[in-house]
Amino acid sequence: MNSDKNHVAPKVWLITGCSTGFGRALAEAVLKKGDRLLATAREPEQLRALIEQYPETAKAVRLDVTLSQDIQAAVDTAITTFGRIDVLVNNAGHGLIAALEEISDVEMHQFFETNFFGALRLMRTVLPLMRQQGSGHIVNMSSTAGLVGFGGSSLYCGAKFALEDTSEALAKEVESFGIKVTLIEPGAFRTDFNGRSLAAAEQSIDAYVPVSGASLKWFKQMDGKQPGNPAKAAQAIIQAVESLHPPMRLALGTDAMSLIQEKLEWVKTDLNAWQQVTVSTDYTDRASPPSTL
């Protein structure tokens, strides 16, 4: 665990999806510690109590991450109000329990607009400001499902996996500008993810009931019983942001740790078992080019 600090002046945070869950817990935590916050939600009136508690250091704006004009307006408001953005947290999103075959084109595009492309638009809008500052930290809320595929959640896993690799590549692109990138990979936490924020496909297929149907039932039964504490998750995220050497990935929860470890062992097992086939595909008459990764 890295506990070194790099916190001199109050940081300015822009967090999406602050009305409930991780976003709300993190918003409350950063304000309590004395930082500044541009809190966003599709219904900013849900943030009224938070803003009234911290009128000098918090401001709320409407932000639908699927709308480019909302994104630009939110970033402009943060700059006008606080002068800079030190930390962008892409948290807005929702779950979807459905087998891939059950998902329509409309559902597929709408889901990725919210859970992947919205984060990309926000990063592209904030990055020029962070480059000019010579510093910044992008925190992308991924999931254990960003590394581990779960049956009945193929689209959700796909969106998070896309965010994972995009973030990893981005970290290499912006390192020289003083910008850091961290992925947060929570397990099951006691937020409204299993309730209000969880959707199912409009059209189900009977053949997938044992998979997607069982998965949806499990999520509903676990609602309110998840082992993870959002307030503790918020403190862990703050610790990562304040670290001089923040992690590329931060798993949260004992369940996340176990599942990710199992996935790594699975990948290693397959890689070793098929090693001879893997290396047999190279040309034998020339040296391999040096890796650029």
pLDDT tens across 239-260, in order? 999 999 999 999 999 999 999 9
Q: Would you identify the CATH topology of the domain 12-255?
A: Rossmann fold (3.40.50)
Q: Cβ neighbours of residue 12 under 8 Å, at least 6 residues apart? A: 35, 36, 37, 38, 78, 82, 83, 84, 85, 86, 87
- 3-state DSSP assignment of residue 32: helix
**What's the CA gap between 145 and 159, in Å, rounded?**
9
pLDDT grade, residue 4 (50/70/90)?
Answer: very low
Please indicate whether residue 37 or residue 187 has the higher confidence score (pLDDT).
37
Assigned token pair, 291 = 């890796």
Q: H/E element holding 12?
A: strand 12-15
- The answer to whether 11 and 29 are in contact (CB under 8 A) is no
Residue 4 sits at φ, ψ, to 5 deg, of: -65, 150
pLDDT for the residue numbered 287: 63
Of 80, 61, 82, 164, nearest in space to 120 by CA = 164
Type of residue found at 230:
P
Assigned token pair, 264 = 């790594």
Give yes or no for residue 7 having a pLDDT over 60.
Answer: no
**What's the CA gap between 196 and 123, in Å, rounded?**
27
**What's the CA gap between 281 and 255, in Å, rounded?**
38
Residue 142's alpha-carbon distances to 28, 99, 168, 231, 275, in angstroms, are: 20, 20, 12, 17, 30
pTM: 0.88
**What's the CA gap between 23 and 119, in Å, rounded?**
14
pLDDT grade, residue 26 (50/70/90)?
Answer: very high
pLDDT in tens, 189-235: 766 654 555 667 778 888 888 877 667 666 666 676 676 789 999 99
- The answer to whether 263 and 290 are in contact (CB under 8 A) is no
* Residue matched to tokens 């937020």: 191
- The answer to whether 123 and 170 are in contact (CB under 8 A) is yes
* Residue matched to tokens 């559902």: 107
Assigned token pair, 101 = 């075959």
Residue 256's alpha-carbon distances to 110, 138, 191, 228, 260, in angstroms, are: 27, 21, 16, 10, 6
Q: Any idea which residues carry the catalytic annotation?
A: 142, 156, 160
**What's the CA gap between 91 and 119, in Å, rounded?**
8
pLDDT for the residue numbered 226: 75
- The answer to whether 115 and 93 are in contact (CB under 8 A) is yes
